Amino acid sequence: VKRIGILTSGGDAPGMNAAIRAVTRVALNSGIEVFGIYDGYKGMVEGYIEPLTKASVGEIIDRGGTILGSARLPEFKDIEVRKKAVSQLKKRGIEAVVVIGGDGSYRGALALTEMGINCIGLPGTIDNDITCTDFTIGFDTALTTIVEAVDKLRDTSSSHHRCSIVEVMGNRCGDLAIWAGIACGAEIVITSSTGFEEGEVLERLRDFDLIKKKRHAIVVISEKITDVHQFAKKVSLNTGFSGRATVLGHVQRGGSPTPSDRVLASRMGEKAVDLLMQGIGGQCVSIKDNQIISVPIEEALSMPRESRKRLLNLFERLV
């Protein structure tokens, strides 16, 4: 392979730039030319594609977001739209592409591979919602942001006998919530795996107040489970705590990537280039037991989500 492209797609994540840099530098050092495809599959279809040099990926390893931009293009499911993308690539002699994104982006990468453009997926998402990998690029940074925020909320909560209900991201994956719950010493964690029984949670909060005499309580809850502002009102009405909801929102997606995310992105970027050099496509890169491996995208997309029973069990033993 002589020329490859690289793009970022779907929701952005800190560490995507470190991955772009790694793919570009490893490829250039192996005698392969690299093209940046801007705004995800949208730029591929529209031909917004420019060469990347070692210098153009300099000074980006510490920057959040993605220098290539990201976009969503639902029409990419349409084969006619993908044909346009393939012809844009062929026109420039680009034979293979590294796609950094989530499972939606992986589907696009698989569809392109089936049309003769070898694609390798890298897991770029803060949600850690790609089952075939222990960690995604961006998860550690988002977790760090959450922990900093919850530590601050705890200070003010204990001054005011408050219950802070902190909604974190995860897109139906509870990993950010459970990891943050353990790291912050939260009182309660609610994810799609734990389920949400409102009455039971209120009962436990009364217990923390009356029996355990806690000065504050932190509840970490995944997004898309309940309206946390409504729930905070119920906490105020039904327990001795004054309930306050905080939705951390998009701050979780920003910031300079942590060293772990930068190193993970670099290791995964190297693997992607090595796979393309072997003529392999339709696979995604994962980290399993601290080994960088690759998994067929088709297999990756059909793996059931882990329930995180052991971590949830640990959390309960720490309360």
Active site residue 134: no
How many angstroms separate the CA atoms of 64 and 52, rounded? 19
Nearby residues of 71 by Cβ (< 8 Å), 6 or more positions away: 9, 39, 40, 41, 42, 43
Q: Which stretch binds ligand ADP (CB under 6 A): 28-36, 67-75, 243-251, 300-308?
A: 67-75
Question: E strands, 16-95, where?
Answer: 33-37, 49-52
Task: Tell the smallest beta-carbon distance from residue 224 to ligand ADP (Å).
Answer: 15
- Adjacency order of strands within the sheet including 283-288: 49-52, 33-37, 3-8, 96-101, 118-123, 283-288, 291-296
Shortest reach from residue 172's CB to ligand ADP, in Å: 12
Cα within 13 Å of Cα(238), Cβ side: 15
What is the nearest approach in angstroms of ligand ADP to the Cβ of residue 102? 3
Contact present, 212 and 187 (Cβ < 8 Å): no
- What is the smallest separation between the CB atom of 125 and ligand ADP, expressed in angstroms? 6
Least spacing, CB of residue 81 vs ligand ADP, in Å: 9
- Which of these ranges, 74-82, 237-245, 257-265, 310-318, lies near ligand ADP under the rule CB under 6 A? 74-82
- If one asks whether residue 132 binds ligand ADP (CB under 6 A), the answer comes out as no
Q: Decide if residue 77 touches ligand ADP (CB under 6 A).
A: yes
Amino acid at 302: S
Shortest Å, Cβ 202 to ligand ADP: 35
DSSP helix/strand/coil, 59: coil
Q: Scanning residues 31 to 60, which ones bind ligand ADP (CB under 6 A)?
A: 41
Question: What DSSP state is assigned to residue 257?
Answer: P
Number of residues that bind ligand ADP (CB under 6 A): 18
Please choose, out of 9-17, 25-33, 172-180, 300-308, the segment that lies near ligand ADP by the rule CB under 6 A: 9-17
Specify the residue, 73 or 146, whose C-beta has the smaller distance to ligand ADP: 73
In the set 12, 39, 103, 127, the catalytic residue is: 127
* SS percent in the chain: helix, strand, coil, step 5: 45, 20, 35
Q: Is 9 in the site for ligand ADP (CB under 6 A)?
A: yes
DSSP at 240: S
Binding residue for ligand ADP (CB under 6 A) from 64, 65, 104, 243?
104
CA 176 to chain centre: 9
Chain centroid to Cα 261, Å, comes to 11
The reply to whether 169 sits near ligand ADP by the rule CB under 6 A is no
- Rounded Cα distance between 108 and 216, Å, is 46
Q: Which residue is nearest to ligand ADP (CB)?
A: 104
Binding residue for ligand ADP, selected from 72, 215, 229, 234, defined by CB under 6 A: 72
**What DSSP designation does 130 have?**
-
In this chain, which of 1, 8, 10, 294 binds ligand ADP, going by CB under 6 A?
Answer: 10
Cα(27)–Cα(21) distance, integer angstroms: 10
The tokens for 160 are 């005011």
Catalytic residues: 127
Provide the binding-site residues for ligand ADP, judged by CB under 6 A.
Answer: 9-11, 41, 72-74, 76-77, 101-105, 107-108, 111, 125
